[in-house]
Structure 1
């Protein structure tokens, strides 16, 4: 599955292999790795871009360092949705390894590995793999509108990065 966004320079590649408990994402950004990293680790920036356009998010806890924890609530017209996890490895401007859980299904924990690669010329490639606890959890996440949320979120991140924040 490949999704192309509206920008001239970036394409979202979403790989959902049949029968595997993984989802992989590759997306290029017109920003340096330090800026893309900061957008993932600074809670004030994170809530401005994460998720689909229809939600607003509020941070409850955010300690973006190895061994730290995070928690936030997203809200839309249908209600509120809480998420939480732990930062297992935070390597500045390079890599974030964290767990991810939806409060309504706390036993369905995924492991997310995000890597940033400097492409030169002020560009960064984000590569992310989520490993789900089961194929059913993975398929449920995909069916929930995950792709739309990723595309809209990364489009918002593009705009945020272009503003120089």
Structure 2
């Protein structure tokens, strides 16, 4: 496993990339199935307390996370493309968002039988929105979440759990 790579594209996009030692079908499932999302979504100390997924084009998703101090953070959106196990595209909007507009999120899953690279493109409505997000501890939080995902995937692959 390697760490998260973060690059900027244009003035509105952030590109994230991370490799996982697991097959694409399992990694895709971890991004789309509530019983798997609750195992890894969020930075250290944050946990999903609500997780709704209507995995179809036009379907909605909503996540509510609770932080270590009891703070709640809610976000949701609409699925625009669902192509398992290759691509997932959705919109994202936080309930208490500090920047304008919806974000378009595209996850591409590529790899071999036992390794998957997830490349995520975050396209913000404005350059101001992207710049606001970059001031947050987003990279640290995503690294922690993806470390949790890697551990969950490792557990599933070593125990033979099916997803």
Task: Provide the C-alpha distance between the structure 2 equivalents of 1:60 and 1:26, rounded to a whole number of angstroms.
Answer: 24
Correspondence 1:39 to 2:33: no
The residue correspondences of 1:122-141 to structure 2 (distance < 5 A) are 122-141=114-133
Per the alignment, residue 5 of structure 2 pairs with 13
Alpha-carbon distance in 1 for matches of 2:45, 2:51:
20
> Contact (CA 8 Å) 1:102, 1:108: kept in 2 or not?
no
- Structure 2 Cα separation of the partners of residues 142 and 50 of structure 1: 19
| Native 8 Å contact 1:58 1:74 kept in 2 | yes
CA RMSD of aligned residues (A): 1.6
Q: In the TM superposition, what whole-angstrom CA distance separates every residue of 1:68-102 from its partner, at most 9, and x where no partner exists?
A: 10011111116111101011111011000000111
Q: Which residue of 2 aligns with 1:111?
A: 104
Q: CA deviation at 1:115?
A: 0.4
More strand by share: 1
Preserved CA contact (<8 Å) 1:56 1:75? yes
Secondary structure of the equivalent of 1:67?
coil
Partner of 1:70: 61
Given that residues 100 and 126 in structure 2 are in contact (C-alpha distance below 8 angstroms), is that contact kept between their aligned partners in structure 1?
Answer: no
Which ranges of structure 2 fall in alignment gaps of 5 or more residues? none
Q: TM-score, normalised by structure 1?
A: 0.87
Tell me how far apart the structure 2 counterparts of residues 159 and 107 of structure 1 sit (CA, whole Å). 34
The answer to whether the Cα contact below 8 Å between 2:89 and 2:105 also exists between their aligned partners in 1 is yes
Offset at 1:138?
1.1
Size of the alignment, in residue pairs?
A: 155
Q: Distance in 1 between matches of 2:37 and 2:2?
A: 20
Cα distance in 2, alignment partners of residues 65 and 130 from structure 1: 20
TM-score by length of 2: 0.88
Contact 2:24-2:113 at 8 Å conserved across structures: no
The CA deviation at 1:131 is: 0.2
**Of 66, 77, 85, which residue of structure 2 is paired with 1:93?**
85
CA 1:78–1:136: 2 relative to 1, 3 Å: farther
Q: SS of the residue aligned with 2:80?
A: strand
